[in-house]
Structure 1
């Protein structure tokens, strides 16, 4: 546990008897010691080169004194600070356990609840450190100790002391440094959040997010490259990505990250401190445990659900059938105008929260999410339903996304006339670009929008079944035209499978394909066709580290697919007509699908077994678009219909929030909920190409 003392090392410091050495780093030597009362403590003695100047010693005492005010939960409490001769030292609580760095290198990366506990405990510690007015400056795996009662963060505030002594070297560990610190700026709380995210990424994967090779190479990646988070399970991966933003202003605070991890906004009471939870970007609600069973063997039904052909569970609707007009005729009408409107809803939600996600901002910060009003305007001045902006496209506004374009966070919309627009919306809408594909196949083909590798992307759906994927910034194809479909593609959604972005698309013939936008080829096992009716919508996500897709179609059903194996999971049969729209979220700890269609109802059902949980009624025409989010701490779902309204429902109680929002262009084809600076907002696209934005009020109570 400790090494024997060597010649020249102290045997006593103040009231403490030195027992042995615990370790040594760039800051100093750590000893195990005993107080005269018998209590064991850890003492860090700063290196002599830092202790020889009176000014440095005085600064040391002032700075470390602040560390004694940090709340003790999840940190190694600072008990005393003193100077013995010319040797300043810090006395702290002794944590009997190895460091996170040593543990991961010896036993491998963490997963499941163990990873959750590390993320939650260290975020709690960092929030407490910041609340005391301290910047850690050297947050890394070796400064996280794994005690018998949970992880503890150590050495907070010590790097500040070393910095003030002007030693001529870097303060901190470059592998875990934020870009602004490498660039010469002072470390700040946002810099700690960056280091925390790299540390949690190390815990999940066994490697730092920007590599561990040569110092110049690591620094270059931190400044210029995207983090390597391959192997980090969603939704934690989305949160870490947000925390690793290059700009400090785009990162959440430690308190905000903690609230997201704890699922702030869940309808039930906040869980006790120390209870691990995983963040679900679309709702902020944590699952109670692994939502799905262990991955099935190859070729077996996914997620422990009945095999194909086995009756699925589901509650039959209690109201009557839709109007007597031809169901197939209405289906064709929908897909010609906007069947793909629901294609990117789930990815839109995740993207939107990456741009915002401020739940409890401790201090006002400039808005970095262009396309969302600045927090400079009071949230209280924008009550539920206040219209904020309107932008118009050519053709029906069939899809919406919030993404990154030329380094800015933007609203991106695609139309059925081969046009996409990028704009930021503030007090007045400000269009940034109009994107049109000139030349090539079908220049007026419908465009859906979404993301590929964190960048705004366009997906052109050709009449012959081909799909062309492009980044919005260049408009040039990412790869060859995908030609796996033989019929018109109606819906497309991005997904993350084995660390890379793939596209999941469904067509008029009922086929679903998973493919690589950069090669134009199928990627991995393909879902098997379960019918010949058109696939109108797809939502994708990752639960417990495994990617899935949910498809809805004209055969009145919804299907869950395991994207790693292509296996069919649950089938939902609760609708009494075509199903057009789908989204996913978590409800009471269980993953749920939310679907809507020609029976005018929004239905919520369990993704694991296909059983209906609840349903919402109110629309007087088909439900064509869905999105999940959060308003005033409540998990909500927004539904857009052909009746020209958007309704926002409390997912738990089933109550409608306020009056229906009215689309200026009639039928609603796309909708998204997002958050920024503590405010929730909604945008919807309609049949006349209008993109209208409304405030939904504060995201948290």
Structure 2
């Protein structure tokens, strides 16, 4: 996808080539200037630029960034306005972020780590000399270019600070200085703290202040000493000084450079505070709201956080930001959990949830022909896995010989198997369909793990996952494309439930490949999706279709149950089954841009529609993240969104 709605092929003197990232600030494009020189052009999101005063402030702040001497920084070349949307043009640096490099290749060491420390400290010194504070220094804002490390996005967070909160300050958890969290004070000393935290990550592959959640990270930064295990002894004293919780006792960026390059450097330091016994309570000038927030964390309560994923972070995984305007409040059923996840570079067609090493992840596929794995707790993209040559239509997750896997279906006619711990394709593609494959599910037959897929050729096919070989003959009977497959057990036997363009829902004996009974009818249009569940102890299927309804089927008797679920104003593209507080429910995703939750015992909608997607919603799945039940949806707006499904349910 070369651009996005509202972005022309030419912006002033710059020809847009293709998008290379997008997120909460805006979209970043690779472009060319009039001489054919490659540049990076960032267009700020429309909703961040509607206020004329804010636009003027933005342009003023970016003009300051243009004064930075180009020592190890990506130069800001130009700034302008596209309609009401500001844009920034900077030097294009081919390379991968430090965050991505460490994740893929491991920590930096030896001369490579030393050069990284010098280059980034030199960049900060140049930025500070221009009267600018970076405000968001972190591993994903350091590009490992062909000529060495380059710091990007300096001054941009300041220019956009008004978009988050008029009293707080933007930053990234794990790299924010204590004073930045405590009272929003951001000075060059905060950049030095972030530099030191970044160097710890570079040297060890771990954060200086560990924590699996934002509240844990905040607590560690405010109350605990950094974890410096693995930091080389020659660098460790400087890192300790730069991570002092008192900004007045940190070295300046210029002093960092002097020390790293061999000049004499002495700074008076105070000892780091001892680790306090739990619950952590630090009596200081911390404002009341923060003390209350940390107290709620200790008590196991819930906090509301604002997240601002950065436009350049969608491919690096270090994209969760937080404002300091935190408010302790319960997250209620149906509310969004965090900001949208923006990793797919085109429509999100399929999502599935699984766990990798205790972390809940979403595996997504879409129209950018990639399969991506994203940590739902940290919002970090772990892998982007290319291979499909056309749109990825279906995703299923499972376990093979103790390893987490995903199986995907693509319009390129292939079914593919992925190792989710390594981020690589496991084996050769599974072939057999004549045309695009629209759906896939995982199950077992006689103890063997199999993939079941349906597609444009109207067939349902089965593959042995271990061998990659097709098992038996395809199941035929649908007239037109098969859009959904699900695996269930009826009377102790494995069955496949399928939906298709012929408006029918069919049940197949997975062992014999024979259709069981007559097709189930009732949908007045294409049947596009299926989910498997239980109701009153009986196996059921829930299907959604172009007639704007979802329907419930008893798989034992192959008859409809209850009334159709009505309320969507357009096609239902995806359905997912769940039990919430012991109540069986179905979650539906629709062309009408909404996600809805239904009580299967009464065939009625629970609460209000879940609204937030700005275009049709293609897919939905359910699971548990950090102990909370959630729905995860993806759509044509290229976002993945998460919704709270925790009881109590609305009446």
- The alignment's TM-score, normalised by the length of structure 2, stands at 0.46
Could you tell me the TM-score, scaled by structure 1's length?
0.43
